[in-house]
Each structure stands twice: as structure tokens, then as C-alpha cells.
Chains A and B, each alone.
Chain A
């Protein structure tokens, strides 16, 4: 059973560009979570989604950030007009409804130049 997949693994963007991060959950998992890890910091929860629904976005910055989990295809975390402070590792996790145990992907490391 393939694990949680994230791509790209590394992404470099110039200030003002858009960044799109993709996450494919484990087979049979219908819940997706996004986290951000800043240098020397722990992971911070951003958003929790189920198929076609945002359940909790209490950790998402109010501007420039959005997330979706469509009926078909991967979950997407989109960052518009990136700034240097967006440079971080972004991790996706998925879970089943049965036990909600979260399995993490390898992360996307975003660098804004």
C-alpha cells in the first residue's frame, strides 16, 4: 500500500509567484491535513479537509493561502504571491475515518528567492 505522496519534493519560487503543492492520500483515506514546519520550529496545523469540504481552516493564514480536496485527484495547497517568509517545509497527512490516525508524507520544501 503506497504511503502518502507529495509533489514536488522541492520547489523554488521567486517572490510574487504562485506555489502549488500536491498531496495524494493513502488508499482508502478520505481525510487530509496540511502542516507547515518553519526552520527550528515544530509543525503547525494549517487546514483539515475531507473530499470537497474544508472542515477546519483555523491555522491557515487569512490571505494568499487556499486549499482544496476535490472529488477526484490530489489535495492542493496553493500559495499566491509568495514571500520569503513562506519558505518552509509543508507536510500533508491523511487518515481514515475509523481511527483518524494520521500518516505523513515526505513533505515539500518550498524556497522563496
Chain B
């Protein structure tokens, strides 16, 4: 079956620090990969995605590269802000996208001024 493993949190960083949140996966078939962000009391928002190997998804300064050889999709940002504090979920689906997402447990990111 499908599964996603991401680093446990909370991750606490100072403003302007470099961010990496690790994500690895196992999948039957060829997955599409996603990062979602959840702010307190809200639903999930799609942050970025990649649908094939070596694709790089990017949005709002965040980036992640689909690495098929290492089955990874690590999230990075060069300089974090207090407003980036949230829970980040790595996810995948297969079957051309028309099926349910498999999520990691989430990483709580705390950015201190």
C-alpha cells in the first residue's frame, strides 16, 4: 500500500533561518506528491505539488523536488518568517490523481521572532 513518513515535530526555528522538512514515501504505482499547510483552526491549503520524477514544485518561497531514486519529497525554504508557523503535511496519491490522498502525520513548524 501507500505510506508517507515525515519528520516529527515540533520544529522550532528563528526567523530567517533555513528550513528543511523531510518526507519519504512508498507507493504502488507512480504517485503524485504534494505538500499541504494547515494554519490553526483552518482546513488544508495546497502549498505545492509535483507529478513526475525530477519535477520541482514551488510556491511562496517553498520548494520541493520529486526524487524517485530516493523516494523523497523534502520541503525547503531559504528564509522563514513568523507567518510560516503552521502544520505541514506531505501527501501522495496514485491512479492519475483521482483517488484519496495518503498523508504523513504532519510537522508542526514554529518560527520565533
Minimum CB distance partner of A101 in chain B:
B46
Q: Given A43-B89, A56-B99, A59-B100, do A106 and B43 touch, yes or no (CB 8 Å)? A: yes
SS class of chain A's interface: helix, strand, loop or mixed? strand
| Shortest distance between the CB of B50 and any CB in chain A (Å) | 13
- How many angstroms between the C-alpha atoms of A56 and B101 in the bound complex? 12
CB pair A56–B100 under 8 Å, yes or no, is yes
| Shortest distance between the CB of B6 and any CB in chain A (Å) | 9
SS class of chain B's interface: helix, strand, loop or mixed? mixed
Check if B74 is an interface residue, CB within 8 A of chain A: no
Check if A63 is an interface residue, CB within 8 A of chain B: no
- For residue B106, which residues in chain A have a CB less than 8 angstroms away from its CB? 42
- For residue A55, which residues in chain B have a CB less than 8 angstroms away from its CB? 98
Q: How large is the interface on B (under 10, 10 to 19, 20 to 34, 35 or more residues)?
A: 20 to 34
CB pair B100–A33 under 8 Å, yes or no, is yes
- For residue B49, which residues in chain A have a CB less than 8 angstroms away from its CB? 101
- For residue A103, which residues in chain B have a CB less than 8 angstroms away from its CB? 46
- How many angstroms between the C-alpha atoms of A99 and B106 in the bound complex? 24
Q: Which 5 A-B pairs have the closest CB atoms?
A: A45-B100, A100-B97, A42-B103, A104-B43, A42-B105
| A-to-B contact residues, CB < 8 Å | 4, 6, 31, 33, 35, 40-48, 55-56, 58-59, 91, 93, 95, 97, 99-107
**Pairs A–B under 8 Å by Cβ, sample size 18:** A4-B43, A6-B43, A33-B100, A33-B101, A35-B100, A41-B105, A42-B4, A43-B44, A45-B101, A45-B102, A48-B99, A55-B98, A91-B43, A95-B97, A100-B93, A101-B97, A104-B43, A106-B42
